[in-house]
Structure 1
Amino acid sequence: MIIVKKSIIPWVGGKAKLMWIINLLAPLKYGRSIDVFGGSATVTLNLECPHNKLKVYNDYNANLVNLMRCAKERPLGLIKEIGFLPLNSRDDFEMCKRFISQEEFAEEDLKAELELTEIMFPPPQAEELKHIMLKKSADKDLKRAAMYYKLLRYSFNSNGDTFGGKNCDIRRFFVDIWKFSRYFKRVVVENKDFEAVIKQYDRADAFIYCDPPYYEAEGFYAVIFTAEDHIRLRDTLKEAKGKVMVSYNNADYIKALYEEFYIFYTTRPNSMAKKEGEVYEELIITNYNPKEFLPEKTGQLNLFSFLLNAEPEGEYKLIHQPITNEKEPTT
């Protein structure tokens, strides 16, 4: 049984139930990992990448990235802010939503203000004002992170949108934030468009993992992801120098879109299903052929045949392999 390091937040589409196959089909060795649609950070936390290698977490959701940065860099401050921020009713929940919607993640604005301070004031006063501005900004970031954290914890299906009306002792999650800070201390945290972050960190020895909003399920996500974005992602990954893995829902459109890649089929328990035992169909897509190094992990892999993981977490099936675009496996 694989023990998965816990995220600090619940998250729609979290990959805890798929880490066994993500690590199984990942290259044996890589010099850096880029979690492009980082979400709950479950994949970043659990990739079997050597601890001294570069790990990058990225997400386009600015409030989520702010929470991850605060949990990484100021865990005690975040815990303190969460403790001082009671949330016991629907009115409190709506107040947090209003704050989150009005307080934008203004990193560029702060940078501009700091530059103006250096121009407008002599050095001694400028340094003092910059210190005050940075402290005020950091305190505001902590407050926003705490509010966003509670929105996720108290919302229905962890979507941060609808009050779930459930009891939740927030204090029992404090130790998770502290552990997360230790796990994440060497992770680079980015808040960029997927194309920008892929092009910035792509190298021949890179492992690029993408968990984009699922096709025709984009409404469940906090950021807008259009039909054109699905195509733009595919086109960006086709040009990647490193090894690429993509998670998607089992949709014919996606299988056609990625016909130049290897496509695996698997299932996981459906946590949002009304009936017990229902599963969700997933695709794992790669731009390299894992079968060359899979024997070292599990045994043989044949097209259209099922293979059990050595530690039986689930089953998967290779359902498509490309005619071209095959990359040599990392050994």
Structure 2
Amino acid sequence: MNSLISWVGGKKSIRDLIYARFPQSYGRYIEVFGGGGWVLFGKKPDKFEVYNDFNNNLSNMFAVVRDQPLAFIQELGYLPENGRNIFNLYKEIITKQRVEDKFLQEEMEKVKVYFTELQQEEIMEIMKQERIEKQDVKLAVAFFKLVRYSYGSGCKTFGCRPYDVRKAFNTVWQISDRLANTVIENKDFEALIIQYDRSDAFFYLDPPYYETEGHYSVVFTKEDHIRLRNTLKKLQGKFLLSYNDCEFIRDLYKDFYIEGFSRINNMALRYDKSSQFPEVLISNYNPMKNSGIQKQLDLFEQDGGDENDE
């Protein structure tokens, strides 16, 4: 299954490689930096699974799609809205984190005229709650459109490419069903890992890559990279971690299993068809024990860490 959106650092092109390195058994699955959910949606549902992203626009969008798919589709509309002005409108909505309701105050005044004081309190509470729920849907759709209409899904500049929103309808229903039993969180990675860590837990992590953090809307500092490593060192369960291949990351995780590989650099594809981007998969267990893995010549180069139990 595909995701509803493309996203910076999405793992669609290498998710089969990632799945092959999952532990052979685990009791709970947690995606710490869920992003567009490409790894989550490409695998079979687990009995216990968690999607998390500290970007509240992502977590809200997937929560709305899971719980209110019809409301999402209705708000999405049935006609494409392609243009720089509409893109800037969605950008403003997401920046403010609210959709202005010009008629709310007017409706409140009418309630005061026609109902008793006790009735007013009850009706106003219902109206406020209804708008809070609608606000989540409106923000989710605004964010979806902002991603779809932006260049490289970066939500910063207009992409100048048309998109027919009707193409998303089937995917919305599919993802709603897929997420039915998935917990959706919006937490800092350390708090999330501590909350869900157990001996049978498996964490897949795809954090902002080192020295490419500017491509992400959520700030992730060098200290955060170190804090992530320190959090994972204390882990009871297992983890598999995606990163860009560089000296800093290899040194930071030198005590773990590190497997290097290269893939096509999608960001540079239009300028250089042969551009490669070096990445690593890091784990606290030996992923090569999985029976489905066949090492490919000139593609992988494995460094050994301290061996942990599979």
Alignment partners' CA distance in 2, 1:260 and 1:124:
65
5 Å-filtered alignment, 1:1-331, equals 5-48=1-44, 51-83=45-77, 87-103=81-97, 129-273=124-268, 274-291=271-288, 293-294=289-290, 296-298=291-293, 307-308=295-296, 315-318=299-302, 320-322=303-305, 324=306, 326-329=307-310
| Residues 116-142 of structure 1 deviation map (CA, whole Å, 9 limit, x = unaligned) | xxxxxx999776554433321110111
- Retained in 2: the 8 A contact 1:44–1:55? no
Cα pair 1:264 1:317 within 8 Å, conserved: yes
Amino acid at match of 1:11: W
Other structure's SS at 2:172 match: helix
SS at match of 1:297: coil
Residues of 1 paired with 2:276 and 2:159: CA distance? Answer: 24
Asked if the contact 1:32/1:55 (under 8 Å) is kept, the reply is yes
Q: Distance in 2 between matches of 1:243 and 1:142?
A: 35
Amino acid at match of 2:144: Y
Letter paired with 1:216: E
Count of residues in Structure 1 that have an aligned counterpart in Structure 2: 291
* In 2, Cα distance between equivalents of 1:278 and 1:130: 57
Does the 8 Å CA contact 1:152/1:158 hold for their aligned counterparts?
A: yes
Instruction: Look up the equivalent residue of 1:198 and give its one-letter code.
Output: I
Moved more, 213-222 or 52-61: 52-61
Structure 1 residues 150 and 254 mapped into 2: Cα distance closer, same or farther (>3 Å)?
A: same
Is contact 2:257-2:283 (8 Å) kept? yes
Residue 46 of structure 1 and its aligned partner are, at CA, apart by 2.3
Q: How large is the Cα RMSD of the aligned pairs?
A: 2.2
CA 1:79–1:259 in 2, change beyond 3 Å: closer, same or farther?
same
Contact 2:29-2:49 at 8 Å conserved across structures: yes
**Structure 1 letter corresponding to 2:300:** Y
Q: Deviations over 1:174-206 (max 9, x none)?
A: 111111111111110000000011110111111
Q: Secondary structure at the match of 1:225?
A: coil
- The question of whether the paired residues in 1 share the 8 Å contact of 2:8 and 2:154 is answered with yes
- Which deviations, in whole Å up to 9, do the C-alpha atoms of 1:269-319 show, x marking residues without a partner? 22111211322111000011123x32x2245xxxxxxx139xxxx94221x
Q: TM-score, normalised by structure 1?
A: 0.83
Unaligned runs of 5+ in 1: 106-121, 300-306
Between stretches 268-277 and 280-289, larger displacement belongs to: 268-277
User: Is the contact made by 1:57 and 1:187 (CA closer than 8 Å) also made in structure 2?
Assistant: yes
Q: Which consecutive unaligned segments of at least 5 residues does structure 2 have?
A: 100-116
Partner of 2:187: helix, strand, or coil?
Answer: coil
Query: Normalising by structure 2, what TM-score?
Result: 0.88
Kindly indicate whether the alpha-carbon contact (under 8 Å) linking 2:48 and 2:182 is maintained by their aligned counterparts in 1.
yes
Residue 21 of structure 1 deviates from its aligned partner by 1.6
Shift in alpha-carbon separation, 1:70–1:85, aligned structure 2, 3 A: farther
Moved more, 171-180 or 271-280: 271-280
Percentage identity across aligned positions?
A: 41
Contact 1:36 1:194 in 2 (8 A): yes
